[in-house]
Amino acid sequence: MQYRRAFSPGGCYFFTLVTKNRRNLFVNHVMIDVLRDAFRMVKLKRPFEIDAIVVLPDHIHCVWTLPKGDADFATRWRLIKTWVTKHCNADMRQTSDPEGGIWQHRYWEHLLRDATDYQYHVDYIHYNAVKHGLVSSPMDWPYSSFRRYVKAGLLPEDWGAEEVVFGNGIGHE
């Protein structure tokens, strides 16, 4: 089977990136800060918008919107993954692996089709820490765009705290 990616200039995409062997790398502020720096540095040279994000110990979900005329999310992810690998503690890298052993080689991407698809994936991102049993409410997970959505008045603080607010149809992690 040949794997093909969907490229749409100016598109909006849902991504899932997983650490190699599901290793819990993003469990402290040091690694979260390395990841933040990677996003910040790549966005300076290759702009994009992070519409929604959640960083869990062993994987990341996010929705990006690319600039008009630009469909090159692959280079952005390569640069982000490389930055994190180069700037993490050396003991986290596996020197026998040419890519450093931080990330799975591939990642999942999905071109969002419409407003319903977009909303479903943003909700999935914001509910993900609850889904994995890390917290009982999305508001309790600090490594998510959920609080930004609350501050902007797009979601109430208690959203997702009492019930699953959407289906469980995405199985990419």
Three-state DSSP string of the chain: CCCCCCCCCCCEEEEEEEEHHHCCCCCCHHHHHHHHHHHHHHHHHCCCEEEEEEECCCEEEEEEECCCCCCCHHHHHHHHHHHHHHHCCHHHCCCCCCCCCCECCCCEEEECCCHHHHHHHHHHHHHHHHHCCCCCCHHHCCCECHHHHHHCCCCCCCCCCCCCCCCCCCCCC
CA neighbor of 26 nearest in space, from 142, 140, 124, 123: 142
Question: Residue 71 falls within a domain, yes or no?
Answer: yes
pLDDT at 8 (0 to 100): 81
pLDDT at 93 (0 to 100): 62
CA neighbor of 135 nearest in space, from 62, 57, 61: 57
Question: Residue 108 falls within a domain, yes or no?
Answer: yes
- pTM (two decimals): 0.88
Is 127 assigned a catalytic role?
no
Main-chain dihedrals φ then ψ at residue 77, nearest 5 degrees: -65, -40
Question: Residue 143 falls within a domain, yes or no?
Answer: no
Question: Residue 142 falls within a domain, yes or no?
Answer: no
Higher pLDDT, 66 or 95: 66
Q: Which region among 26-35, 62-71, 83-92, 131-140 has the lowest average model confidence (pLDDT)? A: 83-92
Question: Residue 76 falls within a domain, yes or no?
Answer: yes
pLDDT at 98 (0 to 100): 55
Question: Residue 68 falls within a domain, yes or no?
Answer: yes
List the Cα angle 137/113/146 in 5-degree steps: 20
> Is residue 169 over pLDDT 50?
no
**87 is in which domain, residue-wise?**
12-113
CB atoms within 10 A of CB 153: 7
> What mean pLDDT do residues 144-151 have?
97
Question: Residue 22 falls within a domain, yes or no?
Answer: yes
Q: Which region among 50-59, 110-119, 138-147, 157-166 has the lowest average model confidence (pLDDT)? A: 157-166
> Is residue 172 over pLDDT 50?
no
Higher pLDDT, 172 or 62: 62
Q: How many domains, the chain?
A: 1
- Whole-number average pLDDT of the chain: 88
pLDDT at 91 (0 to 100): 67
pLDDT at 18 (0 to 100): 96
| Strongest mean pLDDT among 96-100, 107-111, 147-151 | 147-151
* pLDDT above 70: percentage of residues in the chain: 84
Catalytic residue among 107, 124, 143, 149: 143
Q: The domain that contains 20 carries what CATH number? A: 3.30.70.1290
